[in-house]
Amino acid sequence: MKAVALGGCLSASLPLSLSLCLTLAAVPAQAAFTELYKQDFERPTGFVNDAGDVNIFRTVNQLYSGQPAGFTFAQTHTVETLLVGGSTAWGTGFQDPQGVAGRHALGLLSSVENDYLGLAFDVGSSGYLNFRLDVSSIDLDRWGGPFVAAGGQAPVFRISLFDNPGGAAGIGSGTALSWADVTGTASPLKNTFDWTNVVVPLSTAGNTNGNVILRIDLLSGGYAAMDNFVVAASDTPGEVPPIPEPATVALMLGGLVALGAHARLRRPAP
């Protein structure tokens, strides 16, 4: 799994970066962020394999509403929930050799129809909404698929933040505050995930009262998956809770230092 992040120890030269990260890993730090949401999509309510290890007829909100109590999703079109490690997709089931997805992940289309997923939050007076997630190329062998070009195609997601003064759930129809594009890798196997962990800092500047909507859109790649959402409010861009997956310091640093900055924070032109 590749990791992509902005700022912090990744901006230093390699020897200094390793030294600094090891030092920081050994010294507990007081969190300056507020965790707003965490979801690994492992506890769907009423999941049904509609065919091909895909739940297509139930919305994300029907499967995951109330996690936590009162939380709701908004979406356009279908936004599938995939069963990982089943037996029918591509004749073998969806495969996850990295062990990132667990049993379920979400799927989005960039072709045929434009799927959106929206999540509403109150960031208060915080200057950033920071979003950590895993993204991967994957494809469907039915429901209109395959959608990914032969040989694989890197998925490109646009993560956007919208002003939402009314506080209601939605996909974002107000003023666009900021956005960033993040890119995964092209998996050569249509049934096999190749996950990239990304951290997206989104400026909240210009919002009315702290209420915002986070929109996820797959710009290109045909079809792709996403999983393991962590959302935090902070005055520091990119500050989110640490990755909960167990890993050695060497493995984590090796992936982080080698990465390129694929997420570029943007704000609308005045």
Read off the pLDDT of residues 31-62 as tens digits, 9 standing for 90 and up.
689 999 999 999 999 999 999 999 999 999 99
Q: What is the CATH number of the domain that holds 215?
A: 2.60.120.260
The pTM of this model reads: 0.81
Three-state DSSP at 61 gives helix
Q: 48: domain range?
A: 2-26+34-266
- Using CA atoms, how far residue 55 sits from 84, 125, 245, in Å, is 11, 38, 26
Q: Count H helices, E strands: the chain?
A: 3, 14
Indicate the number of domains in the chain.
Answer: 1
CB 146 within 8 A of CB 61: no
User: What is the reported pLDDT for 265?
Assistant: 60
- β-strands 196-203, 2-4: how paired? parallel
pLDDT tens per residue across span 112-132: 788 899 999 999 999 999 999
CB half-sphere exposure, 49, CA atoms < 13 A: 14
According to DSSP, the residues that pair with 4 across neighbouring strands are 198
Of the pLDDT bands very low, low, confident and very high (cuts 50, 70, 90), residue 111 is confident
User: What is the reported pLDDT for 30?
Assistant: 56
Angle between helices 249-257 and 14-26 (to 10 degrees): 140
Distance CA 146, CA 162 (A): 32
**What's the longest Cα–Cα distance across the chain?**
51
20 φ, ψ to 5°? -65, -45
